[in-house]
Structure 1
Amino acid sequence: MNLTKRILIAMLLAVVLGSITQVLLADETLNEILRYILDDILANGVFFVLGKIFVASLKVLVVPLVFVSLVCGVCHLKDQSSLGKLSLKTISLYILTTGMAISLALFLATLFEPGAGVSLETEANYKAPAETSLKQVLIDIFPTNPIAAMAEGKMLQVIVFALLIGLAIGRAGEVGDRIGAAFNDLNEVLMKLVTLLMSLAPYGVFALLFSLFAKQGLGTIGDLAIYMMTVVGALAVHAFVVYPLLLKTFTGLSPVTFMHKMRNTQLFAFSTASSNATLPITLRTVEQRLGVENRVASFAVPLGATINMDGTAIMQGVATVFIAQAFGLDLAMTDYLLVIVTAMLASIGTAGVPGVGLVTLAMVLQQVGLPVEGIALIIGVDRILDMIRTAVNVTGDAMVSVTVANSDNGIDKDVFNDPQAGVAK
């Protein structure tokens, strides 16, 4: 059985068994010994620990893999002056897809009116986290202490430092060649470690999802069904219509082949709900399965995991309209335009902030004068939606990487078209 099937079976079993466990734990007549086994030993014990260990095992690779891979990509650039062009194309594509995502979300939310008739008076209580100004974000991109940036997982700072080291190695002659070769070897070792971790994915995915659904269950979904369906619908259209159209238009490559090869990465992203935790898997897929050269993938993928938030932008668009409708407030056309601009800037401006989806949503709501407390209305289902939108985000990272690589003659189309290329055994 291939890895995709094993992960899907693990996910299905985890959702079913976790939901059953949640129902049993909600029963006050449940035997105390059985409750202790299901809750303390399984849901909050064994599976909780295994899930956390699985995510930690992925996250521990993020900084070394991004740093080493990016140094490799930059130091071996034949023309280092092309790095500026590569950066501009990558960032422009990320901004374009984010703008399309938020526009699509606002259109569908206005069409389906998920908040109409909800009439939720605010007893909700949500305190918006302090936002960081765009000026400070730009300053914070440049590290004062690269070791501290790595320890704290500040990915934009790690990317900048890796770019500088790679440029220096590339211009250091024979010494640079020796160091570059060592980085190449280290990159191969790290990629092998990613492959080993992928073989354990079904067990980690089961543990993560069982623990989640044993606590949350499926009960909150019914209360916000139309809101959830609108968000999921927008995410599906963006992932399976917008991305394939952009890929086909800009590259001429097969969207079917692309989506087929992205399955495992999407499942990882869904189970971890973290683009950063999935980054090692995304990078491996883009390079070994899709044929993108390291010099492009090592820049585009980590940058995308940091600033590309198409899925989050979709949630923000639908949530903004939902909250406005739920509180009986009208949005003017200028408000919709403000939402689009704010969400696009916020997706870059709050990169690396924990809980970034809610932080940026708070910023958007404040810009158009909606009650920030409304965020509390959707928190109950946001964890499940976060899993789906993370899968969309990593798909966007890969699509942009392939598109930029194709425009820069940085993709091996034989690898892209080979269904068995880079398959994890």
Structure 2
Amino acid sequence: MNKESANSLTARIVIGMIAGIGLGLLFKAMLPKDGDLIIPLGLFDFYVRGFFVDGIFEIGGQIFVTSLKMLVVPLVFVSLVCGTCSLTDTSKIGSIGGRAIGLYLITTAIAITIAIFAGLLVAPGEGVNMTSEVTFAAAEAPTLAQVIIGMFPSNPFDAFAKGNMLQVIVFALLFGIAVALAGEAGERISKQFEDLNEVIMRLVVILMNLAPYGVFCLMTTLFVKLDPSAFANLAAYFFTVLGVLILHALLTYPTLLKVLTGLNPIIFIKKMRTTAMFAFSTASSNATIPSTLNTTTKKLGVGNSIASFTVPMGATINMDGTAIMQGVATVFIAQVFNVDLTVTDFLMVIVTATLASIGTAGVPGVGLIMLAMVLAQVGLPVEGIGLIIGVDRLLDMVRTAVNVTGDSMVTVVVGKAEGQFNQDVYNSVDDTRGDRIDFHHLKDK
């Protein structure tokens, strides 16, 4: 998705959100809590509530939510298999891959942990007390051993059918490793999965282009039922996520860089400005890969043999910004629907979101599909996504900038550890060379 279409999609989703809120408030004014119209007009009540609120808009919103859930299993499975199959170069599988993957998962776990604590501290959804048609039966919390054992499927097809994403993720990783080790047969299978991944990503693009209409329907029905106090709650959610994103980018990454390499983190932040702004404008980690590669090699001094491996990998598995959204959103939706989450639930969110980040493709809006999976894992209503989807496109641009900053930080750490790092380039005050990207060469490739 190019810059112009991404910006257009952002504008259309915001328009859909505003229009849905306005129409929902209008319906709410005409249909007070007691169910009587302010102006009695006979069958008008039937048309407003029955035909529009509980009819057209309810159907449209639920179709959109169901479509989100429809893509979860195939998107995660195919993307994970493709990502694992890409680790076929034995010279790169080892210390480089181990360090990169380990750091990416650690930063993601840190990100979502901070997000959950921030959500609990700020409590953006406290006091709304919305209800959902989904019923929740209190179940005994499983032990940690049961959780670990339950990650491994006895029947992968059963895991697909039931949407047990932890089992799907584990099976996808094992299957991808087997494909990578299968020689020529594995190469043929890998190409088929790459083609299938392209098709699924087309589905994602189609769904995200229909998002403005889904948002309109969801916001209309939700704001008919929503208490006015929830407006302040939505603003609290937005600024909580934004605050954690900024904190993670300006504190967590520089701290890890300083501790693991001893390098000056201020230089790193300054040299990331252009790439971060490019990521912000495109809202796509994949679209930012050329800029990220130029920054890490030309400005930060990392060897191309390292950056060419860790940067594309980071665009696939390093989704700290998405994990932050998922953490705060899970707490927010749980508070809105007055559902108490246990410590085991929060641990499940951390594990699920961290592992799911491996399968989160670097394109705009796909984080919402992952959020649907996380919510389902802890028994929260997926319909709650409608509360945040309107502002999510705005946050999507910020978290993409956070993601590529994390990709670059890990690349520097791995490059220095592997001896593929030029500290003179890193410390150089001239950082304009990295901005001159050879687009003609990239096109030829």
TM-score normalised by structure 2 residue count = 0.59
Partner of residue 409 from structure 1, selected from 411, 415, 419: 419
**8 A contact 2:257–2:413 mirrored in 1:** yes
Report if the CA contact (8 A) 1:310-1:393 is conserved.
yes
What pairs with 1:13-92 in structure 2 (closer than 5 Å)?
A: 81=91, 83-92=93-102
- Residue 392 of structure 1, aligned match among 391, 402, 414: 402
Distance across 2 between alignment mates of 1:416 and 1:117: 49
The answer (yes or no) to whether the contact 1:137–1:349 under 8 Å persists in 2 is no
Following the alignment from structure 2 to structure 1, what is the Cα–Cα distance between the partners of residues 133 and 290?
42
Identity of counterpart residues, as a percentage?
A: 52
1:221 touches 1:228 (CA, 8 Å); kept in 2?
A: no
**Partner residue of 2:234?**
224
* Match of residue 365 from structure 1: 375
1:332, distance to aligned residue in structure 2 (A): 1.6
1:236-385 matches, cutoff 5 A: 236-351=246-361, 355-385=365-395
Give the Å deviation of 1:121: 3.5
- Asked if the contact 2:109–2:350 (Cα under 8 Å) also holds between the matched residues in 1, the reply is yes
Residue aligning to 1:144 = 188
CA distance in 1, matches of 2:163, 2:92: 38
In the other structure, the counterpart of 2:157 is: none
Aligned to 1:51: none
Kindly report the root-mean-square deviation, in angstroms, between the aligned alpha carbons of the 2 structures: 3.8
In the alignment, the residues of structure 1 paired with residue 382 and residue 242 of structure 2 have an alpha-carbon distance, to the nearest angstrom, of: 22
Give the stretch that moved more between structures: 131-140 or 365-374.
131-140
Does the C-alpha gap of structure 1 residues 131 and 415 become closer, same or farther in structure 2, counting only changes over 3 Å? Answer: farther
> Residue by residue, what CA displacement relative to the aligned partner does 1:128-174 show, whole Å, maximum 9, x if unpaired?
x96761145322574535655666666xxxxxxxxxxxxxxxxxxxx
CA offsets per residue over residues 75-128 of structure 1, 9 Å max, x none?
A: xxxxx656411111110000110110010001111000010123334489xxxx
Q: Amino acid of the residue matched to residue 258 of structure 1?
A: F
**1:39-83 deviation line (CA, Å, top 9, x unaligned):** xxxxxxxxxxxxxxxxxxxxxxxxxxxxxxx99xx7xxxxx6564
Paired with 1:81 and 1:152, the residues of 2 have a C-alpha distance of 27
Confirm whether residue 424 of structure 1 aligns to residue 424 of structure 2: no
Q: Distance in 2 between matches of 1:352 and 1:384?
A: 16
Query: Structure 2: how far apart are the matches of 1:223 and 1:104?
Result: 19
- Give 1:134's match in structure 2, choosing from 160, 169, 183: 169
- The alignment partner of 1:398 has SS state of helix
Change in Cα spacing, 1:345 to 1:83, as seen in structure 2 (3 Å) is: closer
Q: 1:352 to 1:242 in 2, by over 3 A?
A: closer
Q: Decide whether aligned partners of structure 1 residues 416 and 353 sit closer, same or farther in structure 2, where only a CA change above 3 A counts.
A: closer
Instruction: Determine if contact 1:291/1:416 at 8 Å carries over to the other structure.
Output: yes
How many residue pairs get aligned? The number is: 299
1:254 CA drift (Å): 1.1
Amino acid aligned to 1:144: R
Aligned partner of 1:158 in structure 2 is none
Question: How far, CA to CA, are the matches of 1:392 and 1:267 in structure 2?
Answer: 10
2:285 and 2:232 mapped to 1: Cα distance? 27
Distance 1:149 1:349, change over 3 A: closer
Q: Who is 1:200 aligned against?
A: none
Match of 2:74 in 1: none
CA contact (8 A) 1:221 1:381 kept: no
Q: Find the counterpart in structure 1 of residue 119 from structure 2.
A: 109
Q: Distance in 2 between matches of 1:412 and 1:312?
A: 31
> What amino acid does structure 2 have at the position aligned with 1:260?
K
Instruction: Quote how far apart the aligned CAs of 1:365 are.
Output: 1.4
**Offset, 1:402:** 0.3
- Contact 1:131–1:359 (Cα < 8 Å) also in 2: no
8 A Cα contact 2:111 2:323, kept in partner: yes
Task: Name the SS of the counterpart of 1:277 in structure 2.
Answer: coil
Residue 243 to residue 409, structure 1, CA distance change in 2 (3 Å): same
Offset at 1:399? 0.3
In the alignment, is the contact (CA less than 8 A) between 2:315 and 2:361 conserved in 1?
no
1:223 and 1:110 mapped to 2: Cα distance? 13
Paired with 2:277 and 2:194, the residues of 1 have a C-alpha distance of 27
SS in 1 for 2:420: coil
Deviations 1:333-366 (A, max 9, x none): 2211111111111112455798431222122212
* Partners of 2:370 and 2:115 in 1: CA distance: 15
Change (3 A) 1:135 1:351: farther
Contact conserved, 2:100 with 2:414, CA < 8 A, in 1?
Answer: yes
The answer as to whether partners of 1:137 and 1:350 remain within 8 angstroms in 2 is no
Question: What stretches of structure 1 of length at least 5 have no aligned partner?
Answer: 1-9, 28-69, 75-79, 155-211
TM-score when normalising by structure 1: 0.62
Q: Tell me the residue number matched to 1:35.
A: none
Residues 335, 247 of structure 1: alpha-carbon distance in 2 compared, 3 angstrom cutoff: same
- Give the whole-Å Cα distance in 2 for the aligned partners of 1:403 and 1:221: 42
Q: 1:387 to 1:146 in 2, by over 3 A?
A: same
1:119–1:152 Cα change, 3 Å? same
Letter in 1 for 2:291: I
Contact 1:267 1:391 in 2 (8 A): yes
- What per-residue deviation string (whole Å, max 9, x for no partner) do you get for residues 163-190 of structure 1? xxxxxxxxxxxxxxxxxxxxxxxxxxxx
Cα pair distance change 1:82/1:308, threshold 3 Å: closer
